[in-house]
Amino acid sequence: MIAVARTFSLVGVEAEPVYVEADVGRGLPAFTIVGLPDTSVRESRERVRSALLNSGFSFPMQRITANLAPAHLKKAGPGFDLAIAAALLASSGQIDVHVLDRYALAGELALDGTIRPVPGALAMAEATRSLGLQGIAVASQDAGEARLVDGLEVVAIEHVSRLTDLAAGSLASVPREATPDLCGPSQDDAPDLEDLRGQPTLRRALEIAAAGGHSMLLTGPPGAGKTLAARRLPSLLPPLERGEALEVLRIAGACRGAGNGILPVGRPFRAPHHSASARALIGGGSPPRPGEVTRAHRGVLFLDELGEFRRDSLEALRQPLERGSVTLARAGGVVSMPCSFMLVAASNPCPCGHGRDSGRCECNPAFAARYASKLSGALADRIDVQIQVDRPSAAALSGDPGEPSRRVRDRVRQARERQESRLGPGRCNSATEGPELRRTGCFDEGAGAALELGHAQLGLSGRGWDRVLGVARTIADLGGEAQVTGLHVSEALNLRRRGGP
């Protein structure tokens, strides 16, 4: 008799349905798993055998074949254990086969039959709903995450022996609050901007970047406060909305598993080390896994020591930065993952950190030039706000704490509301193309004249021109002004690094 259980395989951050067909028939005792399983899936045989024997079930001494369909999709990981066990039990008549039509199953088995959590419970729960099933059975640690999906019954199952209860309908489903609160770590738990003392220009740049969602490049000597400032950026951003929080949680769940089901309020902050490969940044592998850009979705991606990153890693960031999504084309198919993040990069002006104009630079010129080219290449042209950061004065360091994040966040929120009323919900100036900005932005004559001059004197590229337009619009939004004037444009030009001598 053939039984079919439903489970999922994670591709990127989405759950793809996988059908586990089990056939227990006559023949020499054997247990085979087919359908492109990797080693961890093939080892599932040993876990399933032990778990069933240790839970009071019998393991049929017959020829057992488990097929994971669709056959073309590569399957990896131990998340298929529970579904394989259930299909096998149903096929050998130990549980009612109809339970498999009502519930999808996802979980890893321990040898004693305990069920362990798997990555991507939220994505799997969403996929279960779109398959039209009644519910999903997951490990109790995964239940919190899965129950965030509306209109779906979630059953927490701690042990494989409880499959009998599930089939009998005697296993209670996890109660679901009508609208679970966003109660994860909030911005108030993140490092606060009041720690940044002095440095008014840097503060202003952070506020503008947060208000318009603009990417930033901070250049300055070691100890100037670049990292300190970047880590405080998430605290200036408006809290996540429910939909965004679900996206963030789905990605986090797909990466590490066993999310606690608490929707985060604060925005993600990812700071990959500069040795990161292009694949680590944008994602990859087989099956494809999300990279740092996706894990920074709806939050901040911080690249410290930009000049030390490998060139190919930086080049790979261009498309994700512009599109807000990353598309990986592999032999196995095309995978798309969301990644709308704010890029914040920090760098020393040259490898020794003093800067080529300081007179104290000790760098080998060729090396320094290669370093500088990474800071001024095609990636840098896509960065809207580029400023130099100086070491703060002693007076500023011993002075009063700066304005706290809470107050800055209020202004940022108002500026974002103005952008949304002009551009539409969820949109901001940084994600708006030049033509639309010009059409909707209300630039007055002074703004046009300042831009013309900037183009002639500061050598702005066409893209640079559009970026300045966007930043100038954000500055006006922060000031609550309808018109963008020459003053706004000239301040925006100051936030655009020019090629030094």
Q: What is d(CA 455, CA 460) in angstroms, rounded to the nearest whole number? A: 5
Number of residues lying near another protein (CB under 8 A): 34
Is residue 135 involved in binding another protein (CB under 8 A)?
A: no
Nearest to 120 by CA among 87, 166, 76, 168: 76
User: Binding segment for another protein among 71-79, 258-266, 316-324, 487-495 (CB under 8 A)?
Assistant: 487-495
Q: Site for another protein (CB under 8 A): which residue of 40, 186, 201, 414?
A: 201
- Measured CA to CA in angstroms, residue 84 lies from 23, 44, 117, 188, 318 at distances of 11, 8, 16, 45, 42
> How many Cβ atoms sit within 10 Å of the Cβ of residue 163?
29
Interface with another protein (CB under 8 A), residue from 284, 355, 464, 470 = 355
Residue 450 engages another protein in binding (rule: CB under 8 A): yes
Structure tokens that stand for 39 in this block: 């080693």
Q: Which is nearer to another protein, 355 or 441 (CB)?
A: 355
358 makes contact with another protein (CB under 8 A): yes
Q: Is 203 in the site for another protein (CB under 8 A)?
A: yes
Question: Using CB under 8 A, which of 12, 119, 198, 266 touches another protein?
Answer: 198
How far does the chain reach from its first CA to its final CA, in angstroms? 79
**Assigned token pair, 108:** 């890893």
Tell me the CA distances in angstroms from 326 to 12, 118, 246, one per residue in order: 10, 24, 19
Q: Would you say 23 or 481 has its CB closer to another protein?
A: 481
Q: Which residues contact 292 (CB under 8 A, 6 or more apart)?
A: 270, 272, 276, 280, 281, 282, 301
Under 8 Å between Cβ of 408 and 237? no
374 is an interface residue for another protein by CB under 8 A: no
Say which residue the tokens 């994860």 belong to. 184
306 near another protein (CB under 8 A): no
CB 25 within 8 A of CB 82: no
Closer residue to another protein in complex, CB, 288/349: 349
- Rounded to whole angstroms, the Cα distance separating 153 from 137 reads 9
429 touches another protein by CB under 8 A:
no
Nearer to another protein, 24 or 475 (CB): 475
Count CB neighbours of 57 within 10 A: 20
Site for another protein in 376-395 (CB under 8 A): 387-388, 390
Contact positions with another protein (CB under 8 A) in 207-236: 219
**Residue number with CB closer to another protein (115 or 389):** 389
Tell me if 471 sits within 8 A of 385, measured CB to CB. yes
Q: Verify binding: residue 359, another protein, rule CB under 8 A.
A: no
The yes or no reply on residue 35 touching another protein (CB under 8 A) is no
Between 283 and 349, CB nearer to another protein: 349
| Interaction site with another protein (CB under 8 A) | 198-201, 203-204, 219, 349, 355-358, 387-388, 390, 450, 453-454, 457-458, 475, 486-488, 490-491, 493-495, 497-501
